[in-house]
Structure 1
């Protein structure tokens, strides 16, 4: 196989990290904003590559409930393509998008591709690596909102995620988590067993067709 890189391509494949790579760009009209999101599929990115339905559910929920975003400090965990966090930034939030290092090139490219022609209404979104339970202490705890879309699918990460959320939210941040409720991955157990250990958890939306739930959580007073 011969790998070639286009100098104008933000996702060069000349390092031959995987044998097959292809990308797809989709346009999403959300909350009055049009986002162009590129998804890069290959063995390396895995679940970070696509726009998951849970992310779109969360965007629609934020709109339907008129959750205020302008001027608020927002961090997104497991951002993937960045559709949720980029939308929040387009609407005036001060946003930090996080994921594992391998996902950051795709994430950064989507941020750059979606800068409004008049510039970001607040500050440009920040893209940073974050491994739950390992380097979360490098991040502050003064957020207003923590956003999470379809990140509950690996049971071994559940305690690490709760630890990370506990740090990020200890000064009062509210968490919104949108999840496809995959029983085979123990997703319901995260919300029934793990998260309530440190958080008050409320189911605020259920989509029966997609089997998708949205939860709102805040740190318990006894923590």
Structure 2
């Protein structure tokens, strides 16, 4: 198993050997992957996003066999100055709300300041052209698991300054780890890393 400091050293090299990093992360256990994600500085997150081109899809976030509306948690680390640890929680839609033309996930952001900004609900879907996963805050899911907070428009509360009009794009790092960047009209100086907790 590759130690966390060796995984981080891989991200500091130029160029990043993304294949070796993926192998190291895949060989690691969850605690090591989580420690890696939570140790990524803003600079390392930016370098990792620019370096990674591994395709990622909704199936990498919520694997086949997970029941509809069953929660899958991704632990996250962002580049904000405060409240940097968070979770993105995902689920498959129920049969009633499953679209015919695409595979989608429902989700929201579980974080310390959600009482101020709102839960930040989104719809996630594949961008086959770029091999990326899109997390789209401009769309709201029509349903949620019973344990999730009420669905709130992202233009409500202070969410209009955070989520309204925003899209995140995810790139694959390894089987469990992804790296993302936020976009509004233009790319934002905001990155985040996620590690999926196996359901």
Q: TM-score, normalised by structure 2?
A: 0.26
Larger relative contact order, structure 1 or 2 (CA cutoff 8 Å, min sep 6): 2
